[in-house]
Chains A and B, each alone.
Chain A
C-alpha cells in the first residue's frame, strides 16, 4: 500500500513539475527560445509572493492576484527590452543572455533576502487532507495538480481557440509572413513571454507554499521543468503533464528506496527516456 501511496504522491508532485514545464514549453514553441533563467523566475515569483504576503497579510493564494500581473508585466518588458534582441539563427546570444540573467537574479535575491531558506505560510491548507480508502491525500498537492490541469487546459484553449493563439502559432511558423497579416512580432513575443511568466507566477507561489526556497533554488526547478518537457515530448502540453507525472513518480519511488536517492532517481528516469525515446513519449514536433 505504501507503494501505491508513493505512486499517488508522485503523480500529484508531477502536477507541480508540469507547471514548471508548461511555461518553458510555451516559450520554446512560440519563439524557439530556451530561458536558462526560467527556474530563477519561478523563485522570483516565490519571493514576490513572500513580499506581498509579508506586507499585506494576504493569504498566499490570494497574493497570486498581485503576483501574476506583476510577473506578466515584467515578462513583457523583459522580452521587448532585452530578449527580442537575442532572437535569430545563432543559439549563443539567448543562451548566454539568459544565463547572465540567472546569475543576476540569484545574486539580487541574495542581496534582498539573504541566503536563508524562506517559505510562505498557507495555514490550514498545508496540512489538510482528504481520505480515499486507505490513502491520505493532501489538499495542497491535490489543488496543485488540479491547477496544473486547469492551466494546461487554459493554454490549449488559448492556443487553439483564440485569435491570440492563432497569432502565436503563425509567428512560430513563419515570422515574415505573419507580419504580412499585420502582426507585430515584437509585440506577439512580448505577449507570449507575459503569458509564460503568468504561468510561472502560479508555479512559483505554489512552490513557495509547498516547500522552502532560497536564492539558489532556481537551478533545480529549471532542470525538473526541462526533464518533464523532454520526457513528455516537445510541442505537446498534455505530454508535458505526463512527463511531469513520470518524473514525480520516479522521484517519489526513488525516495522510498532511499531518501538520498530521490533526485538521482528522477535524473535516471530522464536519461532512460532520452536513451530509448529521444523525442520523448508523446512528441508532436521534433525540436
Chain B
C-alpha cells in the first residue's frame, strides 16, 4: 500500500488560548475522497485552515507526500498543489467572475483545468464572466469558488462546507458535478454538514466532535447509528 498523500498525526490547533483541535489523526490516500462531518464548532474548518496554511505552527503534524508542511505559509502550500475552496465562498469583490478564475490560475500549474474547461463545467459562469463576483447568486458564487480552486490544477482539493446557505436544488447540481471534478486523479477532502451528501461522494468518512475524531469508516458501509453517536456524542 503506497504512503498516504496527506497524513495528520496528532494535529492540534489553537486560536490564542482556545484549543480547537486535540490530536487529530487522519490519512488520505492518493486519488481518494474523504469527507469530514461534524456539528458547528467541531473543528472541521480549523482542520482545513491548518492543512491549507492559513493556520501555521503545526510542524510535522501535517505531512503531504511525506514532507512536513505544518509550518508553511498559505502561499507556499498553494504552490505545492493544495487548493482550498473556503467556507463562505470568499470571492474577491473587486474582481469580476473571470478575474476571480484567472487569479486562481496564476500559478500556471499544468493540468486539464483552464478558463475554458471551467466554463464548460459551469456554463452559466461564461455567460456572466464580466459581472462583478458579488452580483451572482449564492449557488453561482459557489461555482466560481470551486472553479477558482480548480484553475490551479491542484493535486489535493479541500472543500469547506460548499452546501452552506444554498437551496437544495443547487446543492444537488453541485454535488452531481463533483465526481466529474474529482475524478481526474485528484484527491479531495470534503467538509460537510449535510451528511447524506458527504457520504454519497466520498470513499471514507471521519466524524469530528469538539476537536476530536469520534468515528472513521467506509462511507458505503457505515451505519446511521454509528454516525449519530459520533456526531452528537450520544452514548
A and B touching (C-beta < 8 Å)? yes
Count contacts on B: residues with CB < 8 A to the other chain. Answer: 24
The answer on a CB contact under 8 Å between B94 and A182 is no
If A174-B90, A184-B75 touch, does A179 touch B103 (CB 8 Å cutoff)?
A: no
Proximity bits, A173-203, B CB within 8 Å = 1, else 0: 1101111111111000000000000000000
Residues of B within 8 A of A (CB): 52-54, 73-75, 78-79, 83-84, 86, 90, 92-95, 99, 102-104, 106-107, 148, 152
Q: A129 at the A/B interface (Cβ < 8 Å)?
A: no
Contacting A169 at CB < 8 Å: which of B79, B83, B92, B106?
A: B92
Q: Of B79, B94, B102, B106, which is within 8 A of A172 by CB?
A: B94
B103 near A170: Cβ-Cβ < 8 Å: yes
Contacting residues, chain B, for A167 (C-beta < 8 A): 103, 106
A173: min CB distance to chain B, Å: 4
Q: Quick check: B90 and A181 within 8 Å, CB to CB? A: no
Cβ of A166 within 8 Å of any chain B Cβ, yes or no, is: yes
Is B103 within 8 A of A166, CB to CB? Answer: yes
Size bin of chain A's contact surface:
10 to 19
Across-interface contacts of A177 in B (CB, < 8 A): 86, 90, 92
One of B53, B83, B148 near A179 (C-beta < 8 A): B53
Check if A182 sits within 8 Å of B79, measured CB to CB: yes
| Complex Cα–Cα for A99 and B54 (A) | 32
Spell out A's residues near B (CB within 8 Å): 163, 166-167, 169-170, 172-174, 176-185
Flag if B83 contacts A180 (CB, 8 Å).
Answer: yes
Closest CB of chain B to A285's CB: distance in Å?
A: 9
Task: State in angstroms the CA–CA spacing of A184 and B75 once bound together.
Answer: 6
Interface centre among A179, A180, A181 (most CB of B within 10 A): A180
Query: Does the CB pair A180–B106 fall under 8 Å?
Result: no
Contacts A174-B92, A179-B74, A182-B106 given; does A166 touch B79 at CB 8 Å: no
Q: Kindly provide the distance from the CB of B78 to the nearest chain A CB, expressed in whole angstroms.
A: 4
Point out which of A174, A177, A181, A183 has the most chain B C-beta atoms below 10 A from its C-beta.
A181
Per the bound structure, the CA–CA distance linking A177 and B84 in Å amounts to: 9
| Distance of A93 from chain B, by nearest CB (Å) | 20
**Across-interface contacts of A173 in B (CB, < 8 A):** 92-95
B54: A residues at CB distance < 8 A = 176, 179-180
When the two chains form their complex, are residues A181 and B106 in contact, meaning their CB atoms are under 8 A apart?
yes
Contacts of A180 in B (CB 8 A): 52, 54, 74-75, 78, 83-84, 86
